[in-house]
């Protein structure tokens, strides 16, 4: 699109840094690194939700920074985020905030079974523990270091899905199609678009909720809202990612405008257009485990065999070392219909050694 890019990332082998016009190898709170980023950029965003909000606030003194530090402050803290959902008129699962030992005794037995989640620094299943009953709560909290947590009541969910929304400086909003997601061990494994189990009525409610959250945060940029669909048809907000999201990666290959182009448009103040889904898609997340299916020595999966299949788009992120549980890339399968995309995705899964969709 004709823009220069700069990346601030401490990792000397940062995948994004290697393809940017400028790579500033510095920590997120390094004053000299932040000063260099200000020199390089006219507009600044974040692709990682745990960048300190204080850094974004410092950058915003000199440059346009979206999303704002105030928005990220809400999204970085589960208790604040859930409170914001309710203030915005968006329902979420019943929850209880734990901040002090006395709080453990205040949780009603009816709140269990539940999931204990650390209020900060939790993603991809990290900082989460199942709590089946009241007797399990104290040891679960201790195992997380007795840090502030949210105890979320388990709900009878039928499906998980998400919506990526882009909001401009002028309040204009567009969105990607609804994405149905399957998580394994707390990490996104598969995304399907169109979402097979999400009716248009449910999708409409979720879109309204996502837009309400974005508007109430005065958000500028791309954000993803994850939802639960319950057995009785209720739609609950789960969490917000203040950035382009793994579940929206399929848009690179299946839409005429990807979530990443939308992010650039919001930063540059360019017009937002609603992305058009031109192909049905299944996205498979590629974790480092796939390099170790035959033992402890890392072996590259058979990508040539995968790429011989129709409609297969392989995206490897350039990370130097595969590790179990580490996101190494994704593969998107596009087709003229969902059945074909699903069939090829199952073949891909079988070839590389992951559980089929």
The CATH number of the domain covering residues in 6-74:
3.40.50.20
pLDDT at 123: 59
Angle in degrees, CA 332, 338, 342, rounded to 5: 60
Topology of the domain comprising 157-352? D-amino Acid Aminotransferase; Chain A, domain 1 (3.30.470)
Where in the chain do CATH 3.30.470.20 domains reside? Answer: 157-352
DSSP class of residue 254 equals H
Where in the chain do CATH 3.40.50.20 domains reside? Answer: 6-74
Residue 135: φ, ψ to 5°? -65, -20
pLDDT at 126: 66
| CB hemisphere CA count around 57 (13 angstroms) | 8
pLDDT along the chain (357 residues), means of 10: 95 94 96 96 90 93 96 92 96 94 91 92 72 92 91 94 97 97 92 97 97 97 97 95 96 98 97 97 97 91 98 95 94 98 97 87
Encoded tokens for 165 = 């929304």
Sign of CA dihedral 17, 23, 26, 31: negative
CB 278 within 8 A of CB 255: yes
Distant-in-sequence, close-in-space partners of 65: CB < 8 Å, separation ≥ 6:
43, 44, 45, 56, 59
Q: Are strands 280-287 and 327-335 parallel, antiparallel or unpaired?
A: antiparallel
Where in the chain do CATH 3.30.1490.20 domains reside? Answer: 94-153
Q: Give the N- to C-terminal CA distance of the chain in Å, as an integer.
A: 35
List of E strands, the chain: 6-8, 22-24, 43-44, 64-65, 95-98, 114-118, 128-131, 149-153, 157-167, 173-175, 179-184, 187-193, 221-230, 235-241, 280-287, 312-316, 327-335
Encoded tokens for 289 = 């485990």
Biggest alpha carbon distance in the chain? 60
Distant-in-sequence, close-in-space partners of 37: CB < 8 Å, separation ≥ 6:
6, 8, 24, 44, 59
CB 33 within 8 A of CB 8: yes
Q: For residue 279, which of 336, 349, 232, 215 has the smallest C-alpha distance? A: 336
The CATH number of the domain covering residues in 94-153:
3.30.1490.20
């Amino acid at each position: 699109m004709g823009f220069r890019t700069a990346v601030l990332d401490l990792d000397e082998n940062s995948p994004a840094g290697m393809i940017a016009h400028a790579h500033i190898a510095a920590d997120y709170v390094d004053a000299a690194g932040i000063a260099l980023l200000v020199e390089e950029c006219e507009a600044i965003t974040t692709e990682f939700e745990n960048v300190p909000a204080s850094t974004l606030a410092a950058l915003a003194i000199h440059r346009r920074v979206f999303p704002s530090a105030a928005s990220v402050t809400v999204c970085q803290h589960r208790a604040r985020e859930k409170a914001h959902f309710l203030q915005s008129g968006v329902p979420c699962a019943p929850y209880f905030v734990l901040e002090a030992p006395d709080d453990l005794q205040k949780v009603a037995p009816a709140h269990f079974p539940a999931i204990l989640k650390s209020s900060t620094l939790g993603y991809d299943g990290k900082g989460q523990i199942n709590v089946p009953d009241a007797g399990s709560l104290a040891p679960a909290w201790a195992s997380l270091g007795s840090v502030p947590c949210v105890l979320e009541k388990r709900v009878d969910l039928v499906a998980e899905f998400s919506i990526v929304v882009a909001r401009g400086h002028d309040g204009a909003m567009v969105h990607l199609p609804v994405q149905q997601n399957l998580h394994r061990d707390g990490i996104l494994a598969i995304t399907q678009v169109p979402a097979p189990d999400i009716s248009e009525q449910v999708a409409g409610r979720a879109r309204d909720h996502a837009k309400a959250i974005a508007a109430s945060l005065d958000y500028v940029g791309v954000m993803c809202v994850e939802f639960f669909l319950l057995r009785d048809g209720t739609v609950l907000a789960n969490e917000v990612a203040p950035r382009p999201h793994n579940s929206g990666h399929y848009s690179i290959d299946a839409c005429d405008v990807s979530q990443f182009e939308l992010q650039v448009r919001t930063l540059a103040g360019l017009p937002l257009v609603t992305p058009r889904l031109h192909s049905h898609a299944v996205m498979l997340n590629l974790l480092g485990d796939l390099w170790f299916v035959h033992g402890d020595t890392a072996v590259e999966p058979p990508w040539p065999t995968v790429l011989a299949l129709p409609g297969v788009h392989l995206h490897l992120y350039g990370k130097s070392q595969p590790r179990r549980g580490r996101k190494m890339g994704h593969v998107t399968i596009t087709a003229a219909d969902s059945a074909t995309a699903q069939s090829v995705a199952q073949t891909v899964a079988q070839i590389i050694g992951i559980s089929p969709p």
